[in-house]
Structures are given as C-alpha cells and as structure tokens.
Structure 1
Amino acid sequence: MQRYLALLLAVIPISLAVVGIKLMRDTVFGILFSPIPVLWLQFVIGALCFAIGFYIFGGFILYRDRKRNKVQARFRR
C-alpha cells in the first residue's frame, strides 16, 4: 500500500510538469486555450507548472536518496 501512495505522490508532480510542457509547446505553435487571454501568459503559466512539478519531483527523489545514503557528499546534510 505504501508503494501505491508513493507512486501517486510521484505521478501528481510529473503530470503537472507534463501539462507545463504541453502549454509551452502549444504556445510555440500558436494554439491558445480559452481561459488564458494571451500567448505569452500561457507560456509563463506553462513554465511555472513545469518548474514546480520538476522541483517537487526532484525534491522527492533527493529526500528518498538522502534517507538511503545514496547521494554525493555535497548533497548530504
């Protein structure tokens, strides 16, 4: 059961990052979604979604590897 919870916690930020990539890609091709009024704002929202998702997932992996002592010396506390 714990593995499923960990998988769920990993899938949420990954999906947020995927949505961010999709928004940035659609901005490059000029596709605008209805709730967002301008393309540059869509790109900024996509970049923020990607950065937040990547940051959360990277922090999760770093925390897990710190517990198991599998990180380099510069990442240890």
Structure 2
Amino acid sequence: MKTTLSRFIAIIMLVIPGLAATYGFLLMKDSIYNYIVDSGNDKIVDPSFSWLLFLGGLVLFLLGAFFIGGWVFYRDKKRNYVASRFRTKKPRPAGPIIKRSASTTPTQNNE
C-alpha cells in the first residue's frame, strides 16, 4: 500500500508541471494567434501584442519543461544511463608513489 501511494504522489508531481507547461504553451500560442488575427482585421488600426500573456506562458512552459527534464536526467543519472561526461567522477585510488632520482633521468649527449 505504501508503494502505491508513493508512486501516485510521484505521478502527481510530474503531471502538475506537465500541465503547467501545456498551459504556458497554449498562452503563447493564443497571444501570437490573436495578434495575427488582429493584424488582418481592418477595423483595428493598431493591433497590440499581449506581451504579458506571452511572457507568462513562456515562464510556465520553461519551468514545466525544465522540471520534467531535470527529473528525467536525475533518474537516468541514478540508473547510470547518461553519457560519461555527466557521470560523477570517482576518485582515483592512491597508487604507490614512485620517486625518481636524478641519476635515472635521461640526459642528452651532444658529442
């Protein structure tokens, strides 16, 4: 029962940002569409673009998309599905320290 409830909560945590991103996309689409429709209307002399709706939709879309993208990236990183450049670096084991003396370094003979 506990796993069912925790999975349901996890799904809800993904659905809410998905709905926010969808609503943000719709706000951006509607503001662009209304501007294009108003530009074709002869009765409106100076059509105005609704910047507030567009920017609000952009913020909602980006927040939702980044949340879902970050969640997928975190899950894939935990399961080791990401590329090697995104994996956490493991510290190299300390090996034996080799000291080189001055007599073992190669020298050049210019003779």
TM-score normalised over the length of structure 2: 0.59
Between Structure 1 and Structure 2, how many residues are aligned? Answer: 71
CA drift at 1:64: 0.8
Paired with 2:63 and 2:10, the residues of 1 have a C-alpha distance of: 18
Paired with 1:74 and 1:5, the residues of 2 have a C-alpha distance of: 32
Which protein is richer in helix relative to its size?
1
State which of 50, 53, 71 in structure 2 corresponds to 1:42: 53
- Asked if 1:75 is matched to 2:86, the reply is yes
Code of the aligned partner of 2:65: F
Listed as ranges, the matches of 1:30-69 within 5 Å are: 30=34, 39-69=50-80
Higher relative contact order structure (alpha carbons within 8 Å, sequence separation ≥ 6):
1
- Asked if 1:28 is matched to 2:32, the reply is yes
Paired with 1:10 and 1:64, the residues of 2 have a C-alpha distance of: 13
Paired with 1:71 and 1:30, the residues of 2 have a C-alpha distance of: 42
SS at match of 1:71: coil
SS at match of 1:69: coil
Query: Which consecutive unaligned segments of at least 5 residues does structure 1 have?
Result: 32-37
